[in-house]
Structure 1
């Protein structure tokens, strides 16, 4: 059986990359031509739906672009490699994106680096591939977005990192991140409405840690930052839960959750944290302190 179209392109690219440059040739043009050929091979592999081979060819293109000092094209090639690898090999996709990020940071393009880091976070978060790495990548992307004054996008990353932190059982980090998200949201009339949700989540995290002193402190601080907060359903819900925990009253806790859910449907995140708190209450008849 003969070679496929993609394999023929790849053979030409390999031949060009390994060729010796003559007296009147230049290394730069050699690597540019080899890069073009590897790109052709990669796209042909994509047509054949051979995603791993396509990714490898794009990475070979990127290496050629770097040797030709075409770093912008190398970044794009690494990005294309990652897109191909995503179909079959997420770890290889992450590796290619890290290569792109290195070039972007060297060039001072932190906004694009943040985009790639956010992409890495999404790969790790998908199907729970590596929740801890996903959380760390979301935080890193958020820091870079914030550095570039892309605050709304940074906040989205911090919010996702906060959710994953709780999933990891790191309620302290989750609580801190939700406070960061809330503080920024307070600065805009468009996002201020969502602050009470983030404060509720921060309070729930403190209860999941069994730290009711911190819960009370948080509710006091939030009331100082927004005098309308104590009158909200979210604040009243958090306060009633805190009292239930102080008294180790599982029935009161359950009734409070049920009543809140009748009006405002609990999402999966809150349900998971509330179950964690309830389980601790049931195991500790003396209550949380």
Structure 2
């Protein structure tokens, strides 16, 4: 049998303490406090040994001890430490641990920290599992919590990410609602006002992807009423040309406008994807004519 590592020895001692009977002059709470400290030491040793699954499991056991000892803040922190260990190759376990952390944080009214953890969950869903639906839900939830805590810039970032994902999922109307919400927030500050034209253009592209040029034109008029400089921007002129091309059933004019725009302002992956969706609707209509 291979010799136990230092972390395994510490874990065995912690397990023994956890399952021991309280002494004459100590309480069950004291027992769990001591066991929690021992599980924490074992978890940190597992991290040193790069055994991240074992480290996460030990932190989870620490969290159980902290809860039994009524140390709820320490329990939340232990679950967060578990999540950070699990993120080294075990995304599903990391999401579960972060969810446990959020439960403690929201009960304590610590919504800013809960939003931070929910944003982490969104990023795991997006980067590790590619689950756009769950990532979208987590970004939106985090954005709401940030907004409640007056962390407006961070809230806007999360809500914009949620809007992008709604559009990727072909849920264009919820995407428009979120883009407009972020734009409205951004209009209130001279530091963020410059980004409004980007959000409005994305919202307009979503309307076109939904095959609703009437909605796109109505919204563009609404945006112009909110900011008189918007119609003269490159973004607004681009949308106007696209609307005309769609209404004329002219895919060549549409493509020409996209190429010209890309030469001046490089299209990102999101815009490229949604423009392809929009162009397909034109081509489909032309083929049916």
TM range (shorter): over 0.9
**What are the superposed Cα offsets for residues 13-68 of structure 1, whole Å, 9 maximum, x if unpaired?**
00000001122211111001000000011011111111111000000000000111
Distance 1:90 1:135 in 2: 17
Distance 1:128 1:77 in 2: 24
**What are the superposed Cα offsets for residues 80-120 of structure 1, whole Å, 9 maximum, x if unpaired?**
00000011110100000111100011111111111110111
**What are the superposed Cα offsets for residues 161-186 of structure 1, whole Å, 9 maximum, x if unpaired?**
11111121212221111111111000
1:133-282 to 2 correspondences below 5 Å: 133-282=134-283
Partner of 1:18: 19
> How much has 1:286 moved relative to structure 2?
8.1
Partner of 2:60: 59
Structure 1 unaligned runs (5+)?
Answer: none
> How much has 1:127 moved relative to structure 2?
4.3
**What are the superposed Cα offsets for residues 133-158 of structure 1, whole Å, 9 maximum, x if unpaired?**
00100000000010011111100100
Partner of 1:98: 99
SS of match in other structure, 2:198: helix
Contact map agreement 1:248 1:286 (CA 8 A) in 2:
no
SS of match in other structure, 2:286: coil
Partner of 2:32: 31
What is the TM-score normalised by the length of structure 1?
Answer: 0.97
Partner of 2:5: 4
**What are the superposed Cα offsets for residues 227-258 of structure 1, whole Å, 9 maximum, x if unpaired?**
11111111110011011111110011111111
Runs of 4+ in 1 over 6 A off after TM superposition: none
Distance 2:58 2:22 in 1: 22
Distance 1:204 1:12 in 2: 61
Distance 2:85 2:156 in 1: 29
Distance 1:222 1:284 in 2: 28
Aligned length: 288
Distance 1:141 1:265 in 2: 30
SS of match in other structure, 1:284: helix
Distance 1:128 1:74 in 2: 27
What is the TM-score normalised by the length of structure 2?
Answer: 0.97
Contact map agreement 1:36 1:61 (CA 8 A) in 2:
yes
Contact map agreement 2:91 2:128 (CA 8 A) in 1:
no
Partner of 1:69: 70
RMSD between superposed Cα atoms in Å: 1.3
Contact map agreement 1:35 1:65 (CA 8 A) in 2:
yes
Contact map agreement 2:84 2:94 (CA 8 A) in 1:
yes
Contact map agreement 1:56 1:81 (CA 8 A) in 2:
yes
